[in-house]
Amino acid sequence: MIFSLATSVTLAAKRATASVPIVFYAGTDPVAAGLVPNFQKPGGRLTGIHTQNTDLTGKRLQLLCEIVPGLRRVVAFYKPGNYASQQSVKQARQAAQRLKVELVERRVASVEQLRIAVRALKPTDAEAIVYVSDSMVSSQPDLIIDAAREKKLPTMFQFSDSVRSGALASYGVSYYDLGRLSAKQVQRILTGTAPGDLPVEQVDRFRFAVNLATAESLGLSIPASVMARVDEVVR
């Protein structure tokens, strides 16, 4: 069997195989993405975990604006052919318009292009970096965090692991929670249950994390109204 992380990776695994069971984590609606026909009775050889990771794009941008008063230009990196990225960017654009923030889009087709684009960022290009759903970009948090540290740019990611590594903030689900739920489905399939008989589990508990040491290094004082909503503080 295959355990796949991210919608784009799962779509690739589905296309590349014909009979291997797949347990996935998808941050984008798996029905809309064409992974399964419905949540309760997937029916085929795929099942897994779904979170509203893509749907949280606007919320991440909103929180970033609350943390960084007066924010005007925010950059997002993504692979244009990625289905999840396309959906996430749409939400980022809508949120940016609502928040009166300019969304600077940087399309990158490979890790090397991402590295070049991140390093090429100038102070006039953007004042912060916000995560847009993209499996390639999410696989390179250290690259973005290190560059952001050098350029004094606040960052908003999806998983709290990035905050522990130096990102300013994150808003999303817990990798630990995803792992536990995924392991249960893997175990049931390996002991004989058909993937199509296992409903797609949905995770709707989200965690907001901030790194106070990073905030201090950026000269930011996180408002009390924001701190009141934080689930995890890294110092």
Q: Express each pLDDT in 113-170 by its tens digit.
A: 999 999 999 989 999 999 999 989 999 999 999 999 999 999 999 999 999 999 999 9
Strands laid side by side in the 102-107 sheet? 102-107, 73-78, 128-130, 155-157, 169-172, 207-211, 232-234
2-52+174-203 is classed in which CATH architecture?
3-Layer(aba) Sandwich (3.40)
Protein fold of 54-172+207-234: Rossmann fold (3.40.50)
Burial class (CB in 10 A: 0-12, 13-18, 19+), 70: exposed
Residue ranges with strand state E in the chain: 2-5, 22-26, 46-51, 73-78, 102-107, 128-130, 155-157, 169-172, 201-203, 207-211, 232-234
Please report the pLDDT score of residue 175 as a whole number.
82
Give the pair of three-digit tokens for residue 207. 């965690």
The three-class DSSP label of residue 148 is: helix
pLDDT of the residue at 174: 84
> What pTM was estimated for this model as a whole?
0.89
pLDDT score of 32? 94
pLDDT (tens digit, 0 to 9) for every residue of the chain, 235 residues total? 999 999 999 999 999 999 999 999 999 999 999 999 999 999 999 999 999 888 999 999 999 999 999 999 999 999 998 889 999 999 999 999 999 999 999 999 999 999 999 999 998 999 999 999 998 999 999 999 999 999 999 999 999 999 999 999 999 988 888 899 999 999 999 999 999 999 999 988 899 999 999 999 999 999 999 999 999 999 9
Residues of the chain with CATH 3.40.50.2300: 2-52+174-203, 54-172+207-234
- Report d(CA 69, CA 35) in Å as an integer: 40
Q: What is the pLDDT of residue 136?
A: 92
Predicted pLDDT of residue 52: 87
Instruction: Say what the pLDDT of residue 232 is.
Output: 96
Q: Are strands 207-211 and 169-172 parallel, antiparallel or unpaired?
A: antiparallel
List beta partners, residue 157: 170
